A and B are shown apart, each in its own frame.
Chain A
Amino acid sequence: MINRTTAPGLEAITDIRYVQPQVTKINDFSSLFWMNRVPDDTVRIELHFDAGSIRGKKSVAALVNAMLFSGTESKSHKQINEELDQLGAYLDHEVSLEKAFVSAYCLRSNAQEVIDKLAHALLHATFPQREIDDMVREKKQNLRVSREKVSILARQEFQKQLFAGNASYARFTEETDFDEISREDLLAFHEKQYKQGLKNIVVVANVEQKIIDQLLQNFGACALQQQTAYELNLQNQKGIFRVEKKGAIQTAIRIGLPVFNKKDANYTDFLFMQTILGDYFGSRLMSNIREDKGYTYGIGSALVELKTTGYFVIATEVASEVADATLKEVQYEMERLKTELVPEEELELVKNYLLGQMLKSADGPNAMMDLYLGVRQHQLDFSFYGEFMKQLAAMNAEKVRHAAQKYLNWDNFTIILAG
């Protein structure tokens, strides 16, 4: 008879075998990273540009990024897409606050041609007026739909209040923005932030050196010519801000405040503490607000990193009648962490959970590359993780309580209720 009441023994998660990508310096400000231990035919190529939404006129960054493949002097939008689709390639392109990226996914057999087509489309984009009109129409429509969602309304208000005093960070796209943007604006932004704004090229593929050379040949000239600056003095507006949405049966809640990123000495302690609070399925917030009270389908917290700093945020959507009760429970859980010591069992569980997550983050060439980029963007390397795991092993209840007391001051938070 097997014993089903006792858990099987556990083995410790010890070392992680890191695989360093090959680094080719393009210039002092730009590099190419190549992971070539890929056991299949997949090719992932990613280009990172200093073309985030903080750059340029309001909403130009988003519009340019959306239109990168909309046509050149010699090829139409339709042609560009068809040629890349014919090669079986998938494109992805997005803008965040501090950067923009373009990715291409294809098979090895087509890599050379895909890069040619990608370079042509991207570098010679002309933003034809007809395409601009189409894209603006589409974007306005999408905005109309998102305005109905309480989660979007909460996110926007949170952005506004968290980054108060930092106009380029606090702003978000509104329909009227597009009426102020001309084709010249798009061309100028593209010239500066794409054709002279390349930060990194990322390659995850088992390809030959000539593919790397081809990428450098095509995109090397776009490398940044100077250090990029991120002017961010993160001072949030404290207090509760309500956004009304008639007829909403749920309320979206965001609770956050500025903290820091990986470079800070307090990073690991804070990360661990916030994991206990809200960053895994068994967290204090999940156990209380979802499992015990049934107020929500999900509640979580995260430490969001930026180039020079970072912020902490708790997010959820709850039944509107319990929105204020939810705030009380969140506050209650914060107080608990500041006063009580976390039991040994819970500490061990979260340590192991985070170690398991680390293992997952290093599993396979794409994950390994993302792990590397995660430290490289802060001018760190894999040794960061070695140190991180050591600090995890040494984590104790006092450190957790101390971190909670230092950072979880309710009066310092920006609190948004939308719905």
Chain B
Amino acid sequence: MMYKKIIAFSIAIVILLSGFNSFNLLSAKENISVPVYEGLGTRNSYSNYINNNKNAKPASKDVVIDCSVYSKTDMEIEKFTDFGGVLGESVLTSEEGFIEWTFDVPESALYNLKIMYYPYNGKGTNIEREIYIDGKLPFSECSNIALTRLWVNDPNGIKNDSRGNNLTIKQVESPVWTESYFEDITGAESKPYFFYLSKGRHIAKFVSVKEPLLLGKLIFNNFSDCPNYSNYKSKSAPVIGNYFYKIQGEDSVLKSSSTLVPVNDRTSTKTEPYNVSKIRLNAFGGIRWQNSGEWAKWEFEVPETGYYKIAVKFKQDQSKVILPTRKIYIDDAVPFSEMKKYSFKHNTDWQIERLNADGNDYEYYLEKGSHSIKMEVTLGNYSRYIKEIQNSLYILNEAYRKIVMITGVVPDAYRDYRIPLKLPDILNTFKEQSEILSKISKNLEGITLKAKSELVPIDTLASQIKDFSTRPETIQTRLDKFESNISGLSGWLLTSQKQSLLIDYMLITGKDNPLPNITSSLWERISQQMLSLINSFFEDYNTLDSVDKDNTIDVWMSSGKDQANILKTLIDSSFSNKSGIGVNLKLATGAPLTNAIVAGIAPDAAIEVGNSDPVNYALRNAVVDLASFPDFNTIKKQFYESAITPFRLNDGVYALPERQGFYLMFYRADILEQMGLTVPDTWDDLMAVLVELRNYNMEIGIPAGGSGDVMTMLATLLYQQGQEIYKNNQTLTAFDTKISLNTFKKYTEFFTNYGLPLYYDSANRFRTGEMPVIISDYSLYNTLSIFAPEIKGLWKMTGIPGFKTKDGIDNTVATGTVGSIILSQSKKQKQAWEFIKWWTSSDIQAQFGKELESLLGEAARYPTANIAAMEQLPWRRSDYKILKQQWAKCKGIPEIPGSYFVPRNLDNAFRTVINENSDAKQTLLNYIDTINKELESKRSEFSLEKRMRLQ
């Protein structure tokens, strides 16, 4: 009786209290004042800067800073005299730190900045610096000075594989002293950036972001602009009547990036050179040549001085709205202002045209001798629109976030949130942005004419927010549509900025020379199609084999053709000729390895093998114990122990690590700062941040949705508390300890009590700011840097939160590895060992990573497991440090017989708790039984106890 009373009483109190609570919460929410944001537009942009200084006159005198005479620095500096044959002093700045110069300015004026630099040997990516004048960023664009490196095709020429296909040609650096103005690569400004410098003494500071840089001089001067076409033509010279010079696109002599490689085109029989079945590198550019600032240069000759015409054979089948645009230089100078932005029309077929304005061909004045033509990707006229849309997107994202702060992401359709009252500016914002977007859409339509349908994402969003401004009461019911319209436009913006242009050849002609016919006849097309169909039965592009059969090993890899191509080139250039071992590289995707082992036709080695496979094969004696090789102990020092852990069984190691992945925490610095929150470094802090964010209906992302996530997260949490996953000599799970049970409970509570979302698209929610803090695999870094340009510089990454221990915070993270194995069936195990040693070595891993990135772009950054190799990959130094700190704290999850059963049952336990609200500890205990039973049965299957005793 007594008990019942007590229970009844306490229930009554709980009910009362919870009533109060929710009441309090409600009223608290009503009174929330939404923090004020500063949009991208109001930040310290160049357009504001130049507006503030529009009365200043252009400079008439030059200010030259000799970089070797610096006033202050915190990095190790190396000085050179007459480096690279160019007279003068120069200074080598490293990839981290700053350097300052003091200089005197003779008159208050606007100056352009010319940098004289040498792309000193580094990691092969663009050199990035920030420039501060008198300790301040003059305008935000100053945080991104990108200086290009110079690349040429491998001077040894194009090589063939044994079947006669051209292999991708390697790009090698060919640095020379370069002078470059600091300008807007997107082409929004027609002149380089101006700096306003008052008369007197100033300090210029360069802060390193990426890559070392050898600096000669900094010159502040007035950039002399090119004339327009009518002035250009005023020079008197004969118009050449008959001349014909063909420049093949693939023969470009210099380019700004190693991604600009000759490519294979087989869409037309007229592409030169053409082969019906073999791969020929016969064109230049395409999707590899689409980002602002990337340029390539070609050389040609003319026999006499005069006016010539230039024609280009190109293919532009990608963009109908934002036409790919190029800035065209002749002999490193833009000849006339129309060449600052020349757009190429859309057509699904190859086109040839003389560079012209409305049908009137441009004529170029060329003196007798050799010349160069350079084409640089620029957004030209479109740049303005793109910037405006980006700005709009930022403002609308912010508006969305503000609304969400009041309504939550799933607003109650029947409640009056009084949005216009609480956010007095928002209706105006909507109206303004709608007008801006509609105007952009109209202007773009004017340019592109028939492609109205391509502008739908702009129009949809514009009309929706216009409607919002007149009918604010509908906002809450249309919020998710609003969000998807915003992402739609972001996606559109991303794709339409791509400026891809494929060039077959260029022609320098006289005015009378006709253009060649570039359309193949029907008969040609049919016969070529038939031939290529027939050939497709005989051509095997998936095997990149070598010729010498006796000393040759078979290697299988499971990723794509591009990776195979790179690896094959590497093998040819730095493995086979040194070791004398040939390699047959085969692409074998899926899981055919097991079948091949059963059939007795397994390769000698396999690379890119998943985390759990090596031990699984080892249990069945299908792979070689690498620890038995005498030099294994020196080899394994290249990796963290965490990378090797999953490949260990008893005393053996059955694979060498290649790639390693682990969690990092990503956060929106802008949002946290506006809300006055610090970056959490413990789980308790994280939850405190969550509570704050929750007040504004924002979330935190903790992995749990994917099937492996539960295991990895739980292992991470346990490792942080000094707890292992397996006990009893790796025979039983250690999940039944008190710590484990509590941790599991805590982990499930993130989702049950705190109500964190289980399933979400991290990149998207991070971008909108709905989830300003996300724990995710570090590959999200690559995704974000490509996918979310509008929040560039607003987010950071850091180590994951941890638990407080005696010696500070332990933020160990569990990790997974991909590795290379040697099959026991192989009769050439020694050679195979040489190969996988070579493949996992730091130089090769770094080179592979760099080449992969140069081929596929930044999104394909290679997560190598080799410690020294990672350092050579082109990470920003500050990011690399964070990555490295977390990496050193990685801990591998061991694989044991039957361990496939662990993640599966943890996942089941987790979902049972979430779905059925059952008691976390009890549920986990039930599943532990199942796991342990399976582990035991697997052990007895392999009679491991017996085997171990025998050893």
Instruction: Please determine whether chains A and B interact with each other in the same assembly.
Output: no
- Please report A residues at the B interface, Cβ cutoff 8 Å: none
